[in-house]
Amino acid sequence: MLLSVIIPVYNSQDTIGRLVKQVLEVLGTENLEIVLVNDGSRDASESVCEQLSETFTNVVFVSLRRNFGEFNAVMCGLNHATGDYAVIIDDDFQNPPSEIMKLVETAQQGDFDVVYSYYAEKKHSLFRNFGSWLVNRLTTWLLEKPTDLYLSSFKLIAKPVIEEITKYRGPYPYIDGLIFRVTRHVGRVQVSHNAREEGRSGYTLRKLTSLFMTILFGYSLKPLRLLTGTGLFFTTLSLLLAVIDLGLYWVHSQFFIINSIFAFAAFFGGLTLTSLGVLGEYVGRIFMTQSGLPQYIVKKKR
């Protein structure tokens, strides 16, 4: 069995060398490859990764021309991985390399296509924990994943699933969304979680918003169907009010609910603009995909 460990790297010049060496110490050098993807780091991460690939023959290094985002970098890593299993691990030591084999053993014992990790206690900031909670609630609705499954970035994917999800060439990859398009045979295992050793988390409000938009408009039609259902409900309600008002006018020669109809008309105007915005987001993403916006661009590879 060949195991690929994929590490997306961003501004990790102080940690990536120690992380690679620790992975090699824990897993050994046989039947192992490490794929480092430098996602447009602004520090010396690129040169550090290049030196690691020169020092260790089983370290593959790919550098991207700019920062494309974590999911795009992971997709690049998956496209360059050759193992029977690929484990994705962050570059900040929050996921100890010693826990990698737990994912592998769980996959083999349960014959799972994918294994997600989960934590008894997370060492993330309050904002990131809140963001993760929101994302998991959203994906439970959109992707119909099990409610007790935490979509951790520290996960294992089997080669047959990798071969399917890497067929996606669009500019908005969401790894978990692609996984649930392919398989539902997913396992989970508890692992330890450490505090971040160096630097600051790149998990910002802007990135959280971008992730929400990608999940909402890239991997489900439910937002459109929800708007359609809402529009039909209020259209039916307004017609019902109009009929009632006409009936009251017939009896009392006076309109009673006309003001409510005007209020509903104003509401419909807002709903129409919102619907156009949602539809525009879908159309815009289709346009960006068809225009050839790249998923990532490789600068160099070793």
Does residue 228 form part of some domain? yes
Q: Mind listing the pLDDT tens digit for each residue in 273-295?
A: 677 777 777 887 787 777 788 99
d(CA 227, CA 279): 10
Give the tens place of pLDDT for each residue, 132-145.
777 777 777 777 78
Residue that finishes a domain, picked among 220, 243, 269 = 220
Q: Are 293 and 66 contacting, i.e. CB atoms less than 8 angstroms apart?
A: no
CB atoms within 10 A of CB 10: 23
Q: Which of 195, 220, 245 is the last residue of a domain?
A: 220
Same domain, 254 and 210: no
Q: Are residues 75 and 162 in the same domain?
A: yes
What global pTM score does this model have?
A: 0.79
Domain count, the chain: 2
The reply to whether 111 and 226 lie within a common domain is no
Same domain, 60 and 132: yes
* Residue 189 confidence (pLDDT): 95
135 and 183 together in one domain: yes
Q: Distances from the Cα of 244 to the Cαs of 25, 222, 238, in angstroms?
A: 77, 33, 10
Domain boundary pick from 220, 244, 278: 220
> Is residue 252 domain-shared with residue 175, that is, in the same domain?
no
